[in-house]
C-alpha cells in the first residue's frame, strides 16, 4: 500500500470506529441512513481536511475556468460511472485520475454503502432494504477496475428493536471473520452492542 493510501486508511478506520461508537452510544440519534452517512462523511472530511489531490481532467477549463483543480478526495453520493442509479453513499477518490472523464466520474479507491434496519421496521436481507444489492454494486465496480486497487465496504446498522435484528446476527455469525479490508469488498454489521466484519467471499 502506498503512503497516501496508508494515511487515507488510517483516517477511514478512525472515522468508522467513531461512527460505530456514536451509533452504539446514541442509537436513537440515527433515525435514517442519511443520519449515518452524514456523520461518517463529516468525520472523514474533518480527518482528511489537509489531504488534497490535483486533478487535471476533462472539462475543468470549461467548468471551473482552470485546467487543474485541487480537491479533497472524500465525496458523498458520488457517481463513478456515467449512468443513472450507480452512486456510492460515500466515496474516496483515487489519487490517479482518469483524464478522459470529468470530475464527477473519477475512479474511486474506496466505496462505502450504508443500510439501516430501523426500529420495529422490516428490512429483508434479500430485498431492496438489505445490503445485498449494495454488496453486488461494490463487487461489480471492483471487477471493472482492471486490476486497480479498490476497497468496498457495505455497512448494515441495526436498531435494537428491528424485526430482523436476530436474523442479521445469525447470517453474520457471532464473531468477526475478517479484518478491516485494504483491498476487496467486506461487510460490516453494527448493532447497539457489537460489530462484526465479514468477507464477501461467502456470498459468491
pTM: 0.88
pLDDT of 157 over the 80 cut: yes
CA atoms within 13 A on the CB side of 41: 18
Give the Cα separation of 188 and 174 in Å (integer).
Answer: 13
**pLDDT in the model for residue 160:** 84
pLDDT tens for each residue of 85-134: 689 999 999 999 999 999 999 999 999 999 998 876 554 544 446 788 88
pLDDT of amino acid 128: 44
Where in the chain are the domains?
A: 3-203
pLDDT for the residue 166: 64
Examine the pLDDT at 27 and tell me if it is beyond 50.
yes
Question: Edge-to-edge strand order for the sheet containing 151-158?
Answer: 74-78, 88-93, 108-117, 151-158, 184-190, 195-199
Q: What is the pLDDT of residue 83?
A: 67
Confidence of residue 62 (pLDDT cuts 50, 70, 90): confident
pLDDT of residue 130: 72
Going by their DSSP bridges, the two strands 69-71 and 108-117 should be labelled as: unpaired
The percent of residues above 70 in pLDDT, for the chain, comes to: 80
Amino acid at each position: 500500500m502506498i503512503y497516501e493510501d496508508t494515511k487515507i486508511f488510517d483516517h477511514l478506520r478512525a472515522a468508522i470506529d467513531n461512527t460505530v461508537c456514536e451509533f452504539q452510544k446514541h442509537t436513537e440519534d440515527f433515525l435514517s441512513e442519511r443520519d449515518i452517512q452524514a456523520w461518517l462523511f463529516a468525520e472523514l472530511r474533518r480527518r482528511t481536511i489537509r489531504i488534497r489531490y490535483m486533478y487535471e481532467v476533462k472539462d475543468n477549463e470549461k467548468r471551473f475556468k482552470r485546467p487543474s483543480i485541487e480537491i479533497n478526495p472524500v465525496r458523498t453520493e458520488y457517481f463513478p460511472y456515467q449512468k443513472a442509479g450507480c452512486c456510492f453513499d460515500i466515496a474516496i477518490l483515487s489519487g490517479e485520475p482518469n483524464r478522459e472523464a470529468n470530475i464527477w466520474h473519477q475512479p474511486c479507491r474506496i466505496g462505502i454503502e450504508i443500510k439501516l434496519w430501523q426500529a420495529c421496521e422490516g428490512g429483508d436481507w434479500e430485498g431492496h432494504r438489505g445490503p445485498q444489492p449494495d454488496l453486488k454494486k461494490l463487487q461489480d465496480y471492483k471487477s471493472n477496475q482492471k486490476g486497480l486497487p479498490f476497497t468496498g465496504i457495505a455497512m448494515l446498522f441495526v436498531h435494537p428493536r428491528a424485526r430482523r435484528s436476530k436474523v442479521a446476527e445469525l447470517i453474520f455469525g457471532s464473531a468477526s471473520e475478517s479484518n478491516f479490508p485494504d483491498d476487496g469488498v467486506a461487510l460490516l454489521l453494527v448493532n447497539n452492542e457489537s460489530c462484526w466484519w465479514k468477507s464477501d467471499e461467502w456470498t459468491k
